[in-house]
Structure 1
Amino acid sequence: MVRPIADASNADDSTPPERGPAADGGPGGTPRLRLVGPGIVVAATGVGAGDLVATLIAGSRFGTTLLWAAVLGCLVKISLAEAAGRWHLATGRTLFAGWASLGRWTTWYFVGYVVVWGFVYGATAMTSSALPLAALFPAVDLKLWAVAAGVVGLAFVWFNRYAVFERAMTVLVGVMFVVVVLLAALTVPNVPRTLAGLVPVLPDGSLVYTLGLVGGVGGTITVAAYGYWVNAKGWHGPAWIPVMRWDNRIAYLTTGVFVIAMLIVGAELLHAAGVALSTGDAGLLDLADVLRDRYGTWMSTLFMIGFFATSFSSLIGVWHGVSTMVADFVEHQRAERAARALGPQAPAAAPAAPAAEGGRERSAAFRGYMLWLTFPPMLLLFVDRPFALVLAYGVIGALFMPFLAGTLLWLLNSSRTPRQWRNGWLSNTMLTAAGALFLVLCAREVIGLFTG
């Protein structure tokens, strides 16, 4: 059993709070829209090209009947992100510090996850970012665009701190939002029929798509990174919890509008015309062709820009967020080794402070994991992915969300969390429902991997 380790979480921040929560919208103040930041980052990272395709296909097959599932998916992710952020602020410890207190099994799972998942995800993210660029500029090979996307993303996160990263993500979200909402408006949706989709129903053959909509809105491991981004924003301590909750809700409201708009596009533009999309991110290229035929080249080009913004925001979000978690993991491993060297009678040691002048963002572990996300996966751009690697990636990835929901339930209902900030009945209900949902999705994913 690993002993709980005190966490010097204040040391991971290069942007200290300037005036305090009361002045900026915490207790004694009113939350302001300008405070929204970490939530936008986690939402932008979580909504990738795969989510767009899944939502479009659901809309093209079932119209807006599954609108309720998209809304439910946003509520599930709000509860998960709120729990992660509340843990960081209420305890002053990072999420990995909490996991480490539950036993060494969490460490082994985390290591396997970030190594295997990161290797395959790196290639996937680079390819997704390259697809719209190759469609807009076909003279350059897709693989070269993918390599360029990875290198540019690496350089951007490497040389910039959180504040610049957050501003860039906000711009990319703005582009995504404007393009998708404009596209939905151009389809002139039937409003009464759309609103009828808020009534939960399951058309024949829709179960898989419903589970995908509920479970796929807004990210996986990036939900766990939310607490790290909250600290990077300069929010520390329970006084910031109301601000964090405001930030989280605004962000996932934006995500909800975004996903609903894509469902409307699938329903109004594809369902009515009987258009079938290709599987995977390439399905968005099919949509671009439909848009070109219906609205002209300008709309197709604008959509490609939005497609790139969606994919590239996910790329740099993972490069930053998961690398921060890996850096925290390395700090805790060093602290554990130091504690063992001092002997069993020594007090629990705090992790060493992150590298000066930039905290975790400038640490060797942070930058080393970014390199792992960027260069080794480039091999997968030029060769077929080995079956064993794809299998491991699918199993480990499918297990992460049940792992996250379960461990948050454990941590936030235990003495590790101050009593006033432990889960209430609503949080427990939502996290339990999320865990059950993701276990079903996990089982479906694993069965699919073995059955083909």
Structure 2
Amino acid sequence: MSAAPHASRTHFDPYRLDPRDILEPPVGLANILRKIGPGIVLAASIVGSGELIATTALGAKVGYTMLWLVIVSCLIKSVVQAFLGRYVIARAETGLDAVNHIPGPRTKHFNWVIVAWAIMVFLTLFQIAAMFIGVSQVMFRLTDIAVGAWVIIFWVLTLVLLLGGGYARMERLAMVKVGLFTLITLLAAVLLMTSPSFSVAEMASGFRFELPSQGMAIAIAVFGITGVGATELYIYTYWCVEKGYARYTGPYEDGEAWRRRARGWAHVMNVDVVFSMIIYTVATVAFYLLGAGILHAMGQVPNGAEMIDVLSNIYTQTLGGWARYLFYVGAIIILFGTIVAATAGHSRMCSDLMRILGQYDKDDLRARNRWRDVFVVVLTVIPVVMFWIFGQAPVQMVTWGGMAQAAMLPIISCATLYLYYRHMRRTLVAPGWMVALLWIAAIFIIGFVIPSLAGELKKMFG
């Protein structure tokens, strides 16, 4: 793989376009695969509380009924992800810059979409708190050291890994996590096939496109956070910027050279989206089927302080008691890895928000990184405080965060359509079939989320 253009420079700003960074897009699948990465980092943050906790809990509660929704959730939102990545390449803007173009109520610096995003990010910190609880519950069972102490230990480890770290560090960490949880997922699939409670006929019942009579709140949360959640759709634009897709394309020029590079790097980005989609779809479906095939048959739904013990049954019921420790290793990798990856993404977005609010200039990389590190601390302290306030209710915490993400999906879907038709450079328009998929995705997201969420909120507060 050829060195990146900035490799010879001591300092470079991944958010600034510089003609010295221009790079021709790779040709051939092998060369393209060497340039993917943002999707892998995203996959590291995706496979976490949604898959191990919420998805498995949904399967345990409703059986195979919602299998269709889990698969649709993973596939359909990747279309929105691809269009946001394309926008980044065309306009060299971050996710928050992009949605700040959306018309509607606004202040001097930001609009209503950014306000909605900020509220969502705060609520998704409940998911981070749930992951701190989950991984700490595992360590409590291994060491008999209190869960609260382990929450603090994992908080410190998160700071050590993230403070001062750039994209390259995150990509390396993500590669390790993705490789490990891929092995765990393959093992999970083998476990499912050997489970006496599994049957192909029952699994096929998950494609009747039915909604459950109970567990709808978890179902909405699962749709919000499985596959690419609303937070990941925003975050992906930052990983694309830091990977260099817009920089490699170069400053906009009305000519064939820029158009060729833009289309080439958009193709690389599309491969990145598809590759990561395959990874997290397989992992998500595997954990859902384990919940439906094993826990549902046992009549056990993970919850509270016993969440980890109940979840471990997906291994121990097939392999025996010794497999509990195998599950513990997998849970640590999945949950702690997601804490790190999700916090890395959120901290970049919050740092960018400070720029939008006028706290530093666009070209001030040192200030951007300083704010990023500030938010690494803030965005991990808040979940720790949530743990001490709300106690051990991880499934409920994941559900709250997931419902917040689900509520954001119609907004970001409509925003993506607006940006494509009003702000996308005409030299980088997508093929007609991709545009059709974007419309289908947006219509499905709006048609499922708004009525489902409204009905569930009416039950909760009506």
8 Å Cα contact 1:123/1:377 also seen in 2: yes
Taking a change above 3 Å as real, the CA distance of residues 269 and 78 of structure 1, as seen in their structure-2 partners, is: same
Match of 2:190 in 1: 185
From 290, 310, 314, the counterpart of 1:265: 290
* Inter-partner Cα distance in structure 2 for 1:449 and 1:38: 38
Taking a change above 3 Å as real, the CA distance of residues 226 and 281 of structure 1, as seen in their structure-2 partners, is: farther
The answer to whether residue 430 in structure 2 is matched with residue 405 in structure 1 is: no
* Inter-partner Cα distance in structure 1 for 2:386 and 2:193: 41
- Partner of 2:79, secondary structure, is helix
Match of 2:351 in 1: 327
Taking a change above 3 Å as real, the CA distance of residues 171 and 91 of structure 1, as seen in their structure-2 partners, is: same
Match of 1:217 in 2: 226
- Partner of 1:44, secondary structure, is helix
From 162, 166, 171, the counterpart of 2:167: 162
The answer to whether residue 279 in structure 2 is matched with residue 254 in structure 1 is: yes
Unaligned runs of 5+ in 2: 1-11, 250-261, 392-396
The answer to whether residue 452 in structure 2 is matched with residue 437 in structure 1 is: no
**Matching residue's letter, 1:70:** V
8 Å Cα contact 1:158/1:367 also seen in 2: yes
* Inter-partner Cα distance in structure 1 for 2:426 and 2:119: 31
Q: TM-score, normalised to structure 1's length?
A: 0.80
- Partner of 1:205, secondary structure, is coil
8 Å Cα contact 1:394/1:445 also seen in 2: no
From 374, 377, 387, the counterpart of 1:381: 387
Taking a change above 3 Å as real, the CA distance of residues 281 and 329 of structure 1, as seen in their structure-2 partners, is: farther
- Partner of 1:35, secondary structure, is coil
Taking a change above 3 Å as real, the CA distance of residues 14 and 154 of structure 1, as seen in their structure-2 partners, is: farther
* Inter-partner Cα distance in structure 2 for 1:65 and 1:174: 30
* Inter-partner Cα distance in structure 1 for 2:461 and 2:50: 22
Match of 1:35 in 2: 35
- How far apart are residue 243 of structure 1 and its match? 0.8
* Inter-partner Cα distance in structure 2 for 1:384 and 1:212: 19
Per-residue CA distance 1:228-256 (angstroms, 9 max, x = gap): 10111121142311111111111111111
From 151, 155, 160, the counterpart of 1:146: 151
8 Å Cα contact 2:40/2:175 also seen in 1: yes
From 297, 300, 303, the counterpart of 2:324: 300
8 Å Cα contact 1:151/1:374 also seen in 2: no
* Inter-partner Cα distance in structure 2 for 1:280 and 1:122: 15
* Inter-partner Cα distance in structure 2 for 1:383 and 1:283: 19
8 Å Cα contact 1:225/1:325 also seen in 2: yes
Match of 1:344 in 2: none
From 128, 140, 156, the counterpart of 1:134: 140
Identity of aligned residues (%): 22
Match of 2:435 in 1: 424
**Matching residue's letter, 2:112:** W
Taking a change above 3 Å as real, the CA distance of residues 398 and 268 of structure 1, as seen in their structure-2 partners, is: closer
Q: CA RMSD in A?
A: 3.5
Match of 2:244 in 1: 234
Per-residue CA distance 1:305-354 (angstroms, 9 max, x = gap): 1111111122112211111111222222228xx9xxxxxxxxxxxx5213
* Inter-partner Cα distance in structure 2 for 1:296 and 1:394: 33
* Inter-partner Cα distance in structure 2 for 1:421 and 1:131: 49
Taking a change above 3 Å as real, the CA distance of residues 61 and 447 of structure 1, as seen in their structure-2 partners, is: same
Taking a change above 3 Å as real, the CA distance of residues 137 and 392 of structure 1, as seen in their structure-2 partners, is: closer
**Matching residue's letter, 2:267:** P
Worse-matched range after superposition: 256-265 or 371-380: 371-380
Match of 1:109 in 2: 116
Per-residue CA distance 1:385-425 (angstroms, 9 max, x = gap): 8xxxx999788555322222221122112145436426722
* Inter-partner Cα distance in structure 2 for 1:295 and 1:200: 31
The answer to whether residue 75 in structure 2 is matched with residue 75 in structure 1 is: yes
Taking a change above 3 Å as real, the CA distance of residues 147 and 21 of structure 1, as seen in their structure-2 partners, is: farther
* Inter-partner Cα distance in structure 2 for 1:374 and 1:135: 23
From 91, 115, 130, the counterpart of 1:124: 130
- Partner of 2:149, secondary structure, is helix
The answer to whether residue 275 in structure 2 is matched with residue 275 in structure 1 is: no
**Matching residue's letter, 1:216:** I
Q: TM-score, normalised to structure 2's length?
A: 0.78
- How far apart are residue 136 of structure 1 and its match? 2.1
Unaligned runs of 5+ in 1: 1-8, 339-350
Match of 1:345 in 2: none
- How far apart are residue 259 of structure 1 and its match? 1.5
Per-residue CA distance 1:149-194 (angstroms, 9 max, x = gap): 1221122011322112111122112222212321320232567437
- Partner of 2:209, secondary structure, is coil
Corresponding residue pairs, total: 415
From 15, 27, 41, the counterpart of 1:12: 15
**Matching residue's letter, 2:51:** D
Taking a change above 3 Å as real, the CA distance of residues 376 and 52 of structure 1, as seen in their structure-2 partners, is: closer
* Inter-partner Cα distance in structure 1 for 2:141 and 2:93: 45
